[in-house]
Amino acid sequence: MRQGDPELQSIFEHRKRVGYLNNELKRFVLDRLHERKSLEYSHGVLRLLYNALESELQNLETASGQKNWLLRMMLQQLDI
């Protein structure tokens, strides 16, 4: 979502007040997010964060001289 999208902001405020969105509004929100490529942007940010974590894990393993399989398994759970 781009900053200042009044329609989406209104829908999110409505959802906050009533506690739910009907299927029509959910579809509208998803369509708008796809249209604006918000999901692709979020995926890219998550990929950058994952890569940073993977790099830190490699640095940790290099410093300790051994693989940390527990952290590797946890990191694998975060992969998208």
Quote the pTM value.
0.72
pLDDT digits 0-9 by tens, 23-63: 999 999 999 999 999 999 999 999 999 999 999 999 999 99
Q: How many CA atoms lie within 13 A of 43 on its CB side?
A: 7
Token pair belonging to 3: 């900053």
pLDDT at site 28: 96
Token pair belonging to 80: 């998208």
Token pair belonging to 25: 């509004």
CA torsion, ordered 61, 65, 71, 73, to nearest 10 deg: 100
Separate counts of helices (H) and strands (E) for the chain: 4, 0
